[in-house]
Structure 1
Amino acid sequence: MNKLNVSIIGVPMDHGQNRRGVDMGPSAIRYAGVVDRIENLGHTVKDEGDIQVGHADGQVDTDTNLRNMTVITEAMEALGEKVQAVTKTGNFPLVLGGDHSIAIGTLAGISPNHENLGVIWYDAHADMNTSETSPSGNIHGMPLAASFGHGHEKLTQIRGFAPKVKPENIVIIGARSVDPGERELIRERGIKVYSMHEIDKMGMDFVIEDSIRYLKEERGTDGVHLSLDLDGIDPLYTPGVGTPVPGGISYRESHLAMEMLHDAGIITSAEFVEVNPILDEKNRTADVAVALIGSLLGEKLL
């Protein structure tokens, strides 16, 4: 197994939605032993600390229908700058959230270092709303759309360019809660989605094998970013998330997915988001995040 230099970047962001506590996610994942877990695999770890996130009033702007946009875009600019700097050194960026709005900044930092970036979006939700389609104005439901250039300019133009990823280079895995506007956008942009229906019918092994084939062979990507929302996993295993959706991916299926992605050698960056310790039970969700990070980075039973 190739040994990596892993840079951990925490983003204590809870402004992308309206449930407090997810800003403590990076601390919970660190407390669950993520550094030791990675180092025990023979990788080198540098904890880069946390991106500074400002305060916000939680209000939805009446002109844009976006909640806390200014403070989020400021933090995402800083995150993008940090991720790009880390990636340029050849390190593997591992970003810890925080709500899923942070993916806007992560992808803004990763994209310039690739000619043809791919993204695996492991999530119960499509996160492809815009200010026009969002019922809540919560930006954590918009990062994927913003990253392929669809949505408010202040979100799509983080770091001064768009798109960060081509929509045809995206694979969504685990979807089971998709809004009407998102369904239309998925069909319009030709985004590949494996919902729980496909996972149940064909099995996780087929889904991951086909995702790897699609991104590597059909799309010819030169790197793949994994954006893993802990609510992609069934809330039986991850109770500490803000938007749980029953009927999700199992704990074992998720380990299989991470192990297969590791063996394929296509993942060049990753983020684990939406761990909310206030909603959790004895840090169970952070423990799951750390275990999955271990599998993604090469941990084996034997």
Structure 2
Amino acid sequence: MNNRINIIEFPSNLGLKAPEPGVEPGVKNLPDWLRGNGFYQQLKPKNIYTLAPPSYSMNMDTEARVRNSDAIIAYAKQQAEMLDNVLDEAPFPIIIGGDCSILIGNAIALKKRGNYGLFFLDGHTDFILPELSQTGGVAGMDLAVVTGHGHPKLTDIDGLKPYFREEHVWCVGNREYDKDYVAPILDSNIHYYDLERLQEKGTEQCTNDFLQMVTDQKLDGFFIHLDVDVLDDGIMPAVDSRTHDGLTYAELNHILEKLLPHKKAVGMEITILDPDRDPSAEYTKEFIANMTKNIRNARR
């Protein structure tokens, strides 16, 4: 047993459009998949908590212009309550999705506790409004939602808008360079390191600048979002929205080696790895080998 780690399972796929008619996104099976491939055994968490999500649907909310908004909001409130209770314990929570919409509930829990930063590792910005979305899926809008952009139903749950202030957010690893897609985040106060800028400036400067901001702003802590599609497509193709290029494990590991041991780190979520897209577990096993080493080294 590792008394320094808890695992929380939030296996919601409500933020994604069905890959084909009648087929649910497979990310709902990620906790069981990681467990079956040794992730839990290697981490030996003190406790494992699970929150079953609402049933999957493709319901479009014509008011908010996103899919499954009411179910996502209800689940987010339950998530926030569970995470708040787990944060009262000493062990560091590793939160397993699910898709990126689980960030909303986690963000609400943190906002209720104080002011937190967000290190957002993702192959996309997830910073768009519904009118730019081709799917209506909240998993492609989660960073916008948690910083206060979009319909108040999602952005102002319990009157807590914004859950993270833009200037306290680092968005790292995007490699969708379409001008219309990146325009919203460029117009924001979010600190934006797309893949090209990250590799030009270096992971050391990026993480150091973030941690310095946490100190300078006297934040209560920070949270790490890891969408596995931030990794290079050649080493992690088991995602719903594949894009050429991405981070190497060496680059990701260097970032996490800086963030995970920090005294202000309060948790990390892992999203989007789809077991249906990695039937041999080839890519999953490499991911587990890297992640368990990072987590164990940081939380000894």
Return the letter of the residue paired with 1:255.
N
Name stretches of at least 5 consecutive residues in structure 1 with no aligned partner.
Answer: none
Total equivalences in the alignment: 291
Over aligned residues, Cα RMSD in angstroms?
2.2
Matches within 5 A, 1:107-256: 107-114=107-114, 116-177=115-176, 183-217=182-216, 219-256=217-254
Identity of aligned residues (%): 25
Q: Secondary structure at the match of 2:94?
A: strand
- The residue identity in structure 2 corresponding to 1:48 is Y
User: After TM superposition, where is structure 1 displaced by more than 6 Å over at least 4 residues in a row?
Assistant: none
Q: Measure, in 2, the Cα distance between the counterparts of 1:286 and 1:110.
A: 29
| Distance of 1:129 and 1:105 partners within structure 2 | 19
Q: Which amino acid aligns with 1:222?
A: D
Residue 293 (structure 1) aligned with residue 294 (structure 2): no
Map Cα deviations across residues 92-127 of structure 1 (whole Å, 9 max, x no partner). Answer: 22210111011111111122223x201000001111
Which structure 2 residue ranges, 5 or more long, are not aligned? Answer: 20-24
Q: 1:49-100 CA deviation, whole Å, 9 max, x = no partner?
A: 2x12122431433343211212222211111111111112334222101110
User: Within 2, Cα distance between the matches of 1:151 and 1:223?
Assistant: 25
Instruction: Identify the residue that residue 78 of structure 1 maps to in structure 2.
Output: 78
Deviation at 1:285, TM superposition (A): 4.1
8 Å contact from structure 1 (residues 238, 288) kept in 2: no
Give the CA deviation at 1:257. 1.4
Amino acid at match of 1:32: N
Structure 2 residue aligned with 1:22: 27
Q: CA deviation at 1:289?
A: 4.2
Q: Are the aligned partners of 2:15 and 2:100 in contact in 1 as well (CA < 8 Å)?
A: yes
Tell me by how many angstroms 1:177 deviates: 1.6
Q: Is the 8 A contact 1:237 1:284 kept in 2?
A: no
Question: In structure 1, how many angstroms separate the alpha carbons of the residues matched to 2:258 and 2:293?
Answer: 9
Output aligned runs, 1:5-16, within 5 Å. 5-16=4-15
Instruction: Measure the CA separation in 2 of the matches of 1:289 and 1:45.
Output: 22
- Give the drift of 1:193: 1.1
Q: Which residue of 1 aligns with 2:22?
A: none
Q: Which one of 268, 271, 274 corresponds to residue 270 of structure 1?
A: 268
Answering whether residue 48 of structure 2 is matched by residue 47 of structure 1, we say yes
CA deviations over 1:17-65 (Å, ceiling 9, x no partner)? 12321111121122222222223xxxx520112x121224314333432
Which of 29, 36, 39 lines up with 1:34 in the alignment? Answer: 39
Q: In structure 2, what is the Cα distance between the partners aligned to 1:215 and 1:292?
A: 26
Q: CA deviation at 1:198?
A: 1.6
Cα distance in 1 between the residues matched to 2:296 and 2:146: 28
Residue 58 of structure 2 is matched in structure 1 by 58
TM-score in terms of structure 1 length: 0.88
